[in-house]
Amino acid sequence: MKYLPSLPRKNDNVSHNHPLREFFLLLAGVVALVLAAYWSLGLFVDFAVERISPEREARLFSAAFSNGADKEDPPSDREAALQEIVDNLAPCIDITFPVRVGVQESEAANAAAFPGGRIVVFSGLLDKVKSENGLAFVLAHELGHYKNRDHLRLMGRGIVLVSLTAMVTGGNADIARVVAPARDVGQARYSQSRESKADRSALEALNCHYGHIGGATEFFEAMSAGRGGVDIGALHYFSSHPELKERIDALNDLAGAMGFSSGEVARIRFEREDAGAAEEGRPSGWRDQ
Amino acid sequence: MENLINLGVFIILISCGYVFGKIAEKRHYKSIINRERKFLTLPAVSGKNPVGEVPPIRRAQLVQGSVVISVDYFKRMLAGLRNFFGGTVRSYETLLDRARREALLRLKESCPGARQIINLRIETSSISKGGKNRIGSVEILAYGTALYYDIGSPSA
Given an 8 Å threshold on Cβ–Cβ distance, is B40 in contact with A7? yes
- Identify which of B71, B119, B118, B122 has the alpha carbon closest to the alpha carbon of residue B92: B71
Chain center to CA of B100: 3
Mean pLDDT, range A255-279, rounded to an integer: 63
Domain contains B154:
no
Sheet holding A111-114, edge to edge: A100-104, A118-122, A111-114
More confident residue, B82 or A229: B82
- Residue B59 sits in which domain range? 2-149
- pLDDT at residue B52, rounded to an integer: 85
Q: Which residues contact A268 (CB under 8 A, 6 or more apart)?
A: A81, A126, A129, A130, A131, A132, A135
- B27: domain CATH number is 3.30.110.70
Mean pLDDT, range B121-144, rounded to an integer: 80
At B59, the pLDDT band (50, 70, 90 cuts) reads very high
Q: Cα separation of A249 and A25, whole Å?
A: 40
Mean pLDDT, range B19-46, rounded to an integer: 94
Residue A258 pLDDT > 60, yes or no? yes
**Which of A6, A12, A178 to mutate to probe the B interface, most B CBs <10 Å?**
A178
At B152, the pLDDT band (50, 70, 90 cuts) reads low
Least confident of A1-10, A250-259, B130-139: B130-139
Chain A residue numbers with beta carbons less than 8 Å from the beta carbon of B20 are none
Maximum average pLDDT range among A184-198, A271-285, B90-104: B90-104
Give per-residue pLDDT as tens, A208-235. Answer: 888 877 777 778 877 777 665 455 555 5
Bridge-partner residues for B139, per DSSP?
B68, B125
- Identify which of A228, A219, A206, A91 has the alpha carbon closest to the alpha carbon of residue A147: A91
Residue B154 pLDDT > 60, yes or no? no
The DSSP string of chain B is: -HHHHHHHHHHHHHHHHHHHHHHHHHHHHHHHHHHHHHTTTS-B-SSSS--SS-PPEEEEEEEEEEEEEE--HHHHHHHHHHHHH-S--GGGHHHHHHHHHHHHHHHHHTSTT--EEEEEEEEEEEESTT-TT---EEEEEEEEEEEEESSSS---
Chain A residue numbers with beta carbons less than 8 Å from the beta carbon of B77 are 23, 174-175, 178
- pLDDT at residue A276, rounded to an integer: 39
Given an 8 Å threshold on Cβ–Cβ distance, is B37 in contact with A7? yes
Closest Cα in chain B to A172: B80
More confident residue, A64 or A69: A64
Q: Which of residues 179-198 of A touch B (CB under 8 A)?
A: 180-181, 184
- pLDDT at residue A274, rounded to an integer: 44
Domain contains B155:
no
Mean pLDDT, range A245-258, rounded to an integer: 81
Mean pLDDT, range B29-36, rounded to an integer: 95
Q: Which of residues 2-31 of B touch A (CB under 8 A)?
A: 3-4, 6-7, 9-10, 18
Maximum average pLDDT range among A185-194, A266-275, B75-84: B75-84
At B58, the pLDDT band (50, 70, 90 cuts) reads very high
Residue B119 pLDDT > 90, yes or no? yes
Cα-atom radius of gyration of chain A, to the nearest Å?
25
Least confident of A166-180, B17-31, B138-152: A166-180
Q: Cα separation of B71 and B20, whole Å?
A: 11
* A232 close to A239: Cβ distance less than 8 angstroms: yes
- Identify which of A125, A148, A144, A124 has the alpha carbon closest to the alpha carbon of residue A135: A125
What is the pTM (predicted TM-score) of this model? 0.64
Residue B7 pLDDT > 90, yes or no? no
Average of per-residue pLDDT values in chain A: 75
Q: Cα separation of B42 and B111, whole Å?
A: 11
Domain count, chain B: 1
Is A36 part of the contact surface with chain B (CB cutoff 8 Å)? no
* A92 close to A203: Cβ distance less than 8 angstroms: no
Phi, psi (deg, nearest 5) at residue A144: -60, -40
Q: Cα separation of A158 and B6, whole Å?
A: 19
